Amino acid sequence: MNYKDIREECCEANIALPRTGLVDLTFGNVSVLDAAAGVFAIKPSGVDYAALKPEDMVIVDLEGQTVAGELRFSSDTPTHRCLFLAFAEHGVRSIVHTHSRKAVAFAQAAIEIPCLGTTHCDYFNGPVPVTRAMTAAEVQGAYEWETGNVIVERFAELNPMEIAAVLVRNHGPFAWGVSGAKAVETAQALEIVADMALHSLSLNPTVCPAPNHLREKHFFRKHGAGAYYGQK
């Protein structure tokens, strides 16, 4: 098998990252899952986005073994694999990791991105959470896998399809979706609401979150069985 479909989807999503302004240098990656085949495609490590081709995407199985591709997979691959194992049952097919600057600022400050207005509500049904600090043992051990574990731990009582992003403390954001394009869109929305929250908090440090009834109205008019925003 050459996994043409997920390689093309993955390549297209990775190439989109620089156009959104979400990445600097080669900081970032996208993966796309084929759940039926039990594999995912992911960006190769350290390769410039402008040079990427579908055949460069590395195919990795859910045990962490390369099954197709000549290049070394992204160093973040174990984190992606951990998240697919935990979140695929919810419909997650693609994961994006960036070091987008405003979201990283919240991650480094160890502060969740508060849900202050309807732009945030349209994408995230609540504040975007931040993980706990990783222990020395976690960092010195299987670091990238443990990064996935602290994300999964943080989502023990959260729906990953209602809050499709997280801030890894001292590190940066991960976002996800039902496709490569949707995951990139969510990562872009995350950076936008992080920017808005930073400005709002600078103007009024005691600003209150959007009320629940407004948050739920905006989120569920775009998501779920009763959604009516946009075209079918």
Here the tokens at position 133 are 């600090």
Q: For this structure, is 229 an active site residue?
A: yes
Return all residues near 178 (Cβ < 8 A) that are at least 6 apart.
91, 92, 93, 94
Residue 39's H or E segment, with its range, is strand 39-42
Residue 61's H or E segment, with its range, is strand 58-61
Dump the DSSP string for 142-195.
Answer: SHHHHHHHHHHHHTTTS-TTTS-EEEETTTEEEEEESSHHHHHHHHHHHHHHHH
- Among 49, 122, 123, 143, the one annotated catalytic: 122
Here the tokens at position 114 are 């508060």
State the pairing for strand pair 66-68/39-42: unpaired
CA 93, CA 90: separation in Å to the nearest integer? 9
Does residue 68 contact residue 58 with C-beta atoms inside 8 Å?
A: yes
Active site residues: 122, 229
